């Protein structure tokens, strides 16, 4: 699961990054967590209010720190987002099997 936190480095952006990292560790979910601070990259993503969160290329949140419950839902195995990283090829084709 590729998770990006988009924001210029404000306290809310740092808190969002830390919250996602903490919840993923507690749940034992392997994530690739990156922070995007370049304003052009943030604008290209379509996020107008930071912090923003993208999971596997999909914007799932923008504007303020997400609730812990929301982050736990994103990282839950029965989340619709889990379908983008499951399957025979690890979700390389957005959840579509390659065989």
Mean local confidence (pLDDT), 65-90: 75
Q: How does pLDDT run across 89-99, given as a tens digit for each residue?
A: 344 333 333 33
Total number of domains constituting the chain: 1
Whether the per-residue pLDDT at 70 is higher than 70: the answer is yes
Q: How does pLDDT run across 7-23, given as a tens digit for each residue?
A: 998 999 999 999 999 99
**Does residue 96 lie in a domain region?**
no
**Does residue 48 lie in a domain region?**
yes
Task: List alpha helices for 8-67, DSSP H.
Answer: 11-27, 39-45
Instruction: Report residue 88: phi and psi, to 5°.
Output: -65, -30
Whether the per-residue pLDDT at 61 is higher than 90: the answer is yes
Give the structural domain span for 35.
2-85
**Does residue 60 lie in a domain region?**
yes
pTM of the model: 0.79
**Does residue 41 lie in a domain region?**
yes
CATH of the domain at 73: 3.40.30.10
């Amino acid at each position: 699961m590729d998770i990006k936190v988009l924001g210029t480095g404000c306290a809310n952006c740092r808190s969002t990054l830390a919250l996602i990292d903490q919840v993923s560790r507690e749940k034992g979910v392997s994530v690739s967590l990156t922070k995007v601070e370049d304003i052009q990259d943030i604008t290209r993503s379509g996020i107008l209010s930071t912090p923003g969160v993208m999971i596997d290329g999909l914007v799932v949140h923008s504007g303020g720190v997400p609730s812990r419950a929301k982050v736990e839902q994103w990282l839950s195995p029965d989340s619709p987002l889990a379908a983008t990283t499951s399957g025979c090829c690890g979700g390389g084709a957005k959840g579509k099997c390659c065989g």
